[in-house]
Chain A
Amino acid sequence: MDGNTAPADWKIGVDIGGTFMDFCALDTRSGRIASLKVLTTPDDPGAELLTGFDLLDEREGLDPGAVTRFVHGTTVGINTILQRKGARLALITNQGFEDVIELARLGMPEMYSLFCHRAEPLIPRDRIFGIPVRLRADGSERIAPTPEIVHDAVRQAQEAGADGIIVSFLHSWRNGAQEATVKAMIEAEAPDLFVFTSSEVWPVIREYERSSTAILNGYVHPRVAGYLSALEDRLAVRGVPARALLTKSNGGLMSAHQGRRDCVSMLLSGTASGVMGAAWLARQAGESHVLTLDIGGTSADFALIVDGEVQFGTDERIGDFPLHIPSVSVSSIAIGGGSIASIDSHGVLRVGPDSAGSSPGPACYGRGGTAPTVTDAMAVCGWLGQAEMAYGQLSIDRDLARDAVARIAGPMDRSVEETAQAILDIAVSELFVEVEKLGSRAGVDLRDYALMPFGGGGPMLGAFLARELGMTRVLAPRRPGVVSALGGLVADMRGDFLQTVFTDLDATAPRQLCAAFAELQKEGDAWLKAQGHVGPAQVRLSADMRYAGQSYEIETALEPDWLCDPARLATAFHETHRRIYDFDDPAGAIEIVNLRLSAIGVTPKPDFAEAIPTTAHATPARQVQVHLNGARHIPLFERADLVAGATFDGPAVVCQEDTTLAIPEGARAHVDRHLNIHLELAE
Chain B
Amino acid sequence: MSDKMTLQVLANHARAAAENMAHTLHRTAHSAFVKETQDFTVMLMDRHGDTFAVPMDLGATWYPGLSYRRAIDMVEDYRPGDVAFTNDPYSGHVATHAPDTHLWKPVFHDGEIVAWTGGHIHNTDMGGAVPASLSRSLTEIHQEGVRFPPMKLVNEGVFDTQILRIMETNVRKPGLNIGDIKALVGALNTGERKVHAMLARFGGDGFLSGVAALKDQAEAQARDILRGIPDGDYVFSDYADEDSDFANPCRLHLTLRIRGDSAELDFTGSDPQLGSSLNVPSGGDPRHTMLLVGVYYVLYTLNPRLLLNTGLTRPFRCIAPEGTVLNPVAPAAVGMRSLTCARLRSVIFGAFSQAIPDRMPAAPAGNNCIVNVMTHDERSGQKVIAAVNPVVGGGGGMPHRDGTNGSGADAAYLKNTPIEITETEVPVEFVKYGLAPDTGGAGYWRGGLATEMAFRVFAPDTRITARNRDRSRFRPWGVLGGRAAGLAEMVVNAGTPDARRMGSADTAILQPGDVLSIRSAGGGGRGDPMGRETWRVAQDVVRGHVSKEAARRDYGVVMQGGEVDETATAALRGEARGHDGHFHFGPERDAFEAQWTDAAYARLTDILMALPVHWRFFVKTEIFRRMEARKGAEGVNAAYAETRKRFPDIPHVRTHAEAAE
Which A residues are closer than 8 A to B by beta carbons? Answer: 96-100, 102-103, 105-118, 124-126, 136-137, 170-171, 173, 205-209, 436, 439-441, 443, 445, 470, 502, 547, 549-552, 554, 577, 581-583, 585, 588
Point out the residues of chain A lying under 8 angstroms from B28, CB to CB: 547, 550, 577, 581, 583
Beta-carbon contact of B542 and A126 below 8 Å: yes
Point out the residues of chain A lying under 8 angstroms from B304, CB to CB: 110, 113
| Shortest distance between the CB of A101 and any CB in chain B (Å) | 10
Q: Which of B189, B396, B401, B434 contacts A583 (CB 8 A)?
A: B189
Q: What are some 27 contacts across the A-B interface (CB < 8 A)?
A: A99-B435, A100-B419, A100-B433, A100-B434, A102-B406, A103-B435, A103-B451, A105-B415, A106-B407, A106-B415, A111-B413, A113-B301, A114-B298, A115-B398, A117-B404, A124-B543, A137-B424, A205-B420, A205-B424, A441-B19, A549-B176, A549-B179, A550-B35, A577-B28, A581-B28, A582-B190, A582-B193
Most chain B Cβ neighbours within 10 Å, of A113, A205, A439: A113
Point out the residues of chain B lying under 8 angstroms from A440, CB to CB: 12, 15-16, 19-20
Beta-carbon contact of A170 and B395 below 8 Å: no
Provide the bound-state CA to CA distance between A103 and B450, in Å.
11
Point out the residues of chain A lying under 8 angstroms from B257, CB to CB: none
| Shortest distance between the CB of A487 and any CB in chain B (Å) | 29
Beta-carbon contact of A97 and B404 below 8 Å: no
Q: Mark B50-90, 1 if CB is under 8 A from A, else 0.
A: 00000011000100000000000000000000000000000
Point out the residues of chain B lying under 8 angstroms from A136, CB to CB: 423, 429
Which B residues are closer than 8 A to A by beta carbons? Answer: 9, 12, 15-16, 19-20, 23-24, 26-32, 35-36, 38, 56-57, 61, 175-176, 179, 182, 185-186, 189-190, 193, 197, 201, 296-298, 300-301, 304, 306, 308, 349, 360-361, 364, 389-390, 392, 395-396, 398, 400-401, 404-410, 412-421, 423-424, 429-435, 451, 454, 542-545
Provide the bound-state CA to CA distance between A136 and B197, in Å.
50
Point out the residues of chain A lying under 8 angstroms from B29, CB to CB: 550-551
| Shortest distance between the CB of B531 and any CB in chain A (Å) | 19
Beta-carbon contact of A97 and B432 below 8 Å: yes
Provide the bound-state CA to CA distance between A290 and B387, in Å.
42
Count the A-B residue pairs with Cβ separation under 8 angstroms: how many?
190
Beta-carbon contact of B433 and A97 below 8 Å: yes
Point out the residues of chain B lying under 8 angstroms from A554, CB to CB: 27
Beta-carbon contact of A107 and B421 below 8 Å: no
Beta-carbon contact of B16 and A96 below 8 Å: no
Q: Which of B35, B301, B423, B433 contacts A103 (CB 8 A)?
A: B433
Point out the residues of chain B lying under 8 angstroms from A171, CB to CB: 420, 423
| Shortest distance between the CB of A591 and any CB in chain B (Å) | 10
Q: Which of A99, A111, A124 contacts B434 (CB 8 A)?
A: A99
- Chain A binding site: helix, strand, loop or mixed by DSSP? loop
| Shortest distance between the CB of A304 and any CB in chain B (Å) | 14
Nearest-neighbor residue (CB-CB) of B59 within chain A:
A111
Beta-carbon contact of A96 and B432 below 8 Å: yes
| Shortest distance between the CB of B551 and any CB in chain A (Å) | 15
| Shortest distance between the CB of A502 and any CB in chain B (Å) | 7
| Shortest distance between the CB of A472 and any CB in chain B (Å) | 13
Provide the bound-state CA to CA distance between A102 and B27, in Å.
24
Given contacts A103-B433, A443-B16, contact A114 B30 (CB under 8 A): no
Beta-carbon contact of B406 and A116 below 8 Å: no
Beta-carbon contact of B186 and A583 below 8 Å: yes
Provide the bound-state CA to CA distance between A605 and B433, in Å.
52
Point out the residues of chain A lying under 8 angstroms from B301, CB to CB: 112-115
Beta-carbon contact of A445 and B420 below 8 Å: no
Point out the residues of chain B lying under 8 angstroms from A105, CB to CB: 415-416, 418
Beta-carbon contact of B434 and A585 below 8 Å: no
Point out the residues of chain B lying under 8 angstroms from A583, CB to CB: 28, 182, 185-186, 189
Point out the residues of chain A lying under 8 angstroms from B306, CB to CB: 112
Provide the bound-state CA to CA distance between A583 and B189, in Å.
9
Point out the residues of chain B lying under 8 angstroms from A206, CB to CB: 418, 420-421
Beta-carbon contact of A117 and B401 below 8 Å: yes
Point out the residues of chain A lying under 8 angstroms from B409, CB to CB: 114, 116
Having A113-B300, A136-B429, one finds 6 other A-B pairs with CB under 8 Å, namely A103-B416, A107-B407, A114-B396, A115-B401, A209-B418, A549-B179
Beta-carbon contact of A107 and B424 below 8 Å: no
Point out the residues of chain A lying under 8 angstroms from B30, CB to CB: 547, 549-550
Point out the residues of chain A lying under 8 angstroms from B454, CB to CB: 96
Point out the residues of chain B lying under 8 angstroms from A207, CB to CB: 418-420
Beta-carbon contact of A114 and B297 below 8 Å: yes
Point out the residues of chain A lying under 8 angstroms from B38, CB to CB: 107
Given contacts A98-B434, A114-B395, contact A443 B406 (CB under 8 A): no
Nearest-neighbor residue (CB-CB) of A173 within chain B:
B420
Most chain A Cβ neighbours within 10 Å, of B389, B392, B418: B418
Provide the bound-state CA to CA distance between A532 and B385, in Å.
52
Beta-carbon contact of A205 and B435 below 8 Å: no
Beta-carbon contact of B408 and A99 below 8 Å: no
Q: Which of A102, A111, A439, A502 contacts B424 (CB 8 A)?
A: A502
Provide the bound-state CA to CA distance between A205 and B418, in Å.
9
Nearest-neighbor residue (CB-CB) of B19 within chain A:
A440
| Shortest distance between the CB of B64 and any CB in chain A (Å) | 8
| Shortest distance between the CB of B223 and any CB in chain A (Å) | 18
Given contacts A137-B420, A547-B30, contact A582 B189 (CB under 8 A): yes
Provide the bound-state CA to CA distance between A205 and B423, in Å.
11
| Shortest distance between the CB of A204 and any CB in chain B (Å) | 10
Beta-carbon contact of B12 and A436 below 8 Å: yes
Q: Which of B24, B395, B431, B451 contacts A581 (CB 8 A)?
A: B24
Point out the residues of chain B lying under 8 angstroms from A107, CB to CB: 38, 407, 412-415
Provide the bound-state CA to CA distance between A117 and B36, in Å.
19
| Shortest distance between the CB of B512 and any CB in chain A (Å) | 16
| Shortest distance between the CB of A329 and any CB in chain B (Å) | 15
Beta-carbon contact of B175 and A549 below 8 Å: yes
Beta-carbon contact of A112 and B297 below 8 Å: yes
Which 6 A-B residue pairings sit nearest by Cβ, starting from the closest?
Answer: A99-B434, A96-B432, A549-B30, A440-B16, A125-B543, A112-B300
Point out the residues of chain A lying under 8 angstroms from B435, CB to CB: 99, 102-103
Beta-carbon contact of B421 and A551 below 8 Å: yes
Point out the residues of chain A lying under 8 angstroms from B15, CB to CB: 440
Nearest-neighbor residue (CB-CB) of B422 within chain A:
A137
Beta-carbon contact of B56 and A112 below 8 Å: yes
Point out the residues of chain A lying under 8 angstroms from B176, CB to CB: 549
| Shortest distance between the CB of A25 and any CB in chain B (Å) | 42
Point out the residues of chain A lying under 8 angstroms from B404, CB to CB: 108, 116-118
| Shortest distance between the CB of B473 and any CB in chain A (Å) | 24
Beta-carbon contact of A103 and B406 below 8 Å: yes
Beta-carbon contact of B421 and A115 below 8 Å: no
